[in-house]
Amino acid sequence: MLHPSAPNSLSIAPLSAEFTDRSTETAYHAYHRERTRVQLASTLLFCSLYFLGFFATDLAALGMVADAALLLGARLLVAVTAGSCAWLAWRSPLSTGAAWRAATVAEAVALACFMFIAFHRPGEFHWHAMSLGVMLLVIYLYIPNRFAHALGIAAAATAGFLALTLAHADMGFADLLTMGMLLALVNTFGALAARRYHIVAREEYRAQRVLQHAAERDYLSGCYNRRYLHERLMGAGSHQAGPVAVILCDIDNFKQVNDTHGHAAGDAVLLQLSKLLQAVAREGHDSVVRYGGEEFLLVLPATGLDAAVHLAEWLRARFGATPIDTGAEGTSVFATASFGVASGADASLAILIDAADKLMYAAKRNGRDRVEALALHAHGMAAAA
């Protein structure tokens, strides 16, 4: 989950048109994997059929000769290669790298065969230039690939075609110059359009992530909120296999902190505890939730009671021993918290949280700054204290 307080993870490099943070770029491609799969399969299939269909122009230009059979073979090679890549993309959700490789292989084979066809039809290089322009736009805008890959493939194809034209086309200097300028124009505007497309798609993804963050996170602490808890962790299809532990903690005498030192100091205390909880949470595994005003919930999948109690004791000791800067001319305060820990392999998350809530209040009654724990069977029956 992206955090707006980490702007570098959401920034987009202007040249590569990708997120500067590789994990964010990876998450972006994972989010669009299905769309990429469909677009790659449909575009490659469409291109292979058209490339094969243009054999009619070979027959019209050359007639039924041996060269026409060679060109048919080249076109069949393109159709088989692109069609196979399209089939792979359609049949299975390719990884991002595999999709790029499929796109690059199909493009490279198509362009190589296109050069082969142009070599065998040397009197029509002006038409070949037009065809290449269309192919370049397809590479830039329609076949999913990295912007850098598309740019490199298009530039290499353009340079190769111009070299082939100089070597084999019977064209005057004016025609050659015009062809070169037109292909440069196609590449320039194709690259600009592709770069803009990549950036806009990532800007849309970034906006969605920021909005999702705002909907699921507490503004002050950055922890998940109760909406996330109920919709994601406790919603339909969210059952956790194996043991689950929850730690519910509440800052002791928090109203006194606010009354004595001010609400800014209270916010600093909240932030200190939330940062401590988020520091021990396993990325992509555990969840830290701001459960109430000064209450925080730590959900620990695949964690037994002993490990959860050990972690709660460490959190309790570390939080109580850490001076908290209030921001008021170097003034610092100390605070403590009470912890309730519940664990069970069969009990629902709602039952575990309810048990941890009762245990936390028991810790308050028993003197505060302590940990109370309990393991549960199914249906919330106590197993061991």
Q: Is 295 a catalytic residue?
A: no
| Annotated active-site residue in 216, 294, 295, 372 | 294
Contact 78, 53 (CB under 8 A): no
Query: Catalytic positions, please?
Result: 294
